[in-house]
Amino acid sequence: MQGVTVVDHPLVAHKLTLMRESGRSTKSFRELAREIGLLLGYEALRDLPVDMVEIETPLESTLAPMIAGKKLVLAPILRAGLGFLDGFLEIAPSARVAHVGLYREPATLQAVRYYFKAPADIADRLVLVLDPMLATGNTAVAAIDLLKERGARDIRFVCLLAAPEGVARLRQAHPDVAIVTASIDARLDDHGYIRPGLGDAGDRLFGTR
Ligand code: URA
Residue count (the chain): 209
Beta strand ranges found along 49-107 (DSSP E): 50-56, 61-67, 71-78, 96-97, 99-104
Treating both helix axes as pointing N-terminal to C-terminal, what angle do 26-44 and 10-20 enclose, rounded to 10 degrees? 150
What single letter denotes the amino acid at residue 58?
P
Indicate which residue of 17, 62, 108, 208 is catalytic: 108
Does the C-beta of 205 come closer than 6 Å to ligand 1?
Answer: no
Does residue 104 have an active-site annotation?
A: yes
Q: In the chain, how long is the greatest CA-to-CA distance?
A: 65
Taken in order of first residue, the domains within the chain and their CATH numbers are 4-206 (3.40.50.2020)
Does the C-beta of 135 come closer than 6 Å to ligand 1?
Answer: yes
- Other Cβ atoms within 10 Å of 51 Cβ, number: 11
What is the pTM (predicted TM-score) of this model? 0.94
CA of 136 to the centre of ligand 1 (A): 9
pLDDT in tens, the chain (209 residues): 889 999 999 999 999 999 999 999 999 999 999 999 999 999 999 999 999 999 999 999 999 999 987 799 999 999 999 998 999 999 999 999 999 999 878 888 788 999 999 999 999 999 999 999 999 999 999 999 999 999 999 999 999 999 999 999 999 999 999 999 999 999 999 999 999 999 999 999 999 97
Does residue 203 have an active-site annotation?
A: yes
Does the C-beta of 197 come closer than 6 Å to ligand 1?
Answer: yes
CA separation for the pair 176, 185 (Å, rounded): 23
CA of 54 to the centre of ligand 1 (A): 47
